Amino acid sequence: MIEARRVFAATLAAGLARRFGGDKLSQQFGGGSVLGAALAPLDGFDWLERGVVVQAGRDVPGMRIVNPAPERGMGHSLALAARAAEEARADFLLVTLGDMPRLRAASLGRLLQACPDRDDALAALVVRGGPPGPPAVFGKSWFRQLGLEGGDTGARDVLRDPANSPVLVDLPADEAADIDTPADLRRLRND
């Protein structure tokens, strides 16, 4: 188990939303915005620091990490988050996504509980039978490698490599839903 006060919590929210056709994070969801709903589960923890990786011009609560080149993909946003965690001298980096508005704090708590207290720790939430992905926790020995990642895969290869021994924690399917298209948003609003 790891304590939140040793974790830099980063939310990746700098995507171009090409499949959505516009700014999906500002869309109405649950009495606020998609991004607001995705950030809400992080509020109940006492993080070392917290940051949101965004495109220039987006206002967000808390520490803003500006991604000057969002066209470089999720890996570039992840690299910025890893560098911020390293600068904050965090022991761990938690990565969440700004387009997952159904995630619950309890699932993040289970992830922190399951994560080994080691520099090379890897832990991810996973829907039964599916591949591991964010939300995920990385021990500080991963920060340098993540700081070099690029493209649109982010840390997918790191999390899916069995040699890295990631700890996998079940995530209810309804919490794993992300918003890529307007149809996704309509479906999640109606569920």
pLDDT in tens, the chain (191 residues): 899 999 999 999 998 888 888 889 989 998 999 999 999 999 999 999 999 999 888 878 778 898 888 888 888 999 999 999 999 999 999 999 999 999 999 999 999 999 999 999 999 989 877 888 889 999 999 999 898 866 556 688 888 888 888 999 999 888 988 889 889 899 888 87
- pLDDT score, position 155: 84
Report the pLDDT value the prediction gives residue 150, as an integer from 0 to 100.
63
d(CA 178, CA 185): 8
* Predicted pLDDT of residue 18: 84
* Res 73: pLDDT: 83
**Beta-carbon neighbour count of residue 46 at 10 Å?**
8
Q: CB within 8 A of 127, min separation 6: which ones? A: 170, 171, 172, 173, 176
First CA to last CA across the chain, in angstroms? 33
List domains and CATH numbers for the chain: 4-190 (3.90.550.10)
Q: Residue ranges of the alpha helices (H) in the chain?
A: 34-39, 74-87, 105-114, 143-146, 156-160, 173-176, 182-190
pLDDT at position 59 is: 79
Q: From CA 58, how far away is CA 88, in angstroms rounded? A: 22
Q: What is the pLDDT of residue 38?
A: 96
Q: Which two tokens stand for residue 29?
A: 């969801």
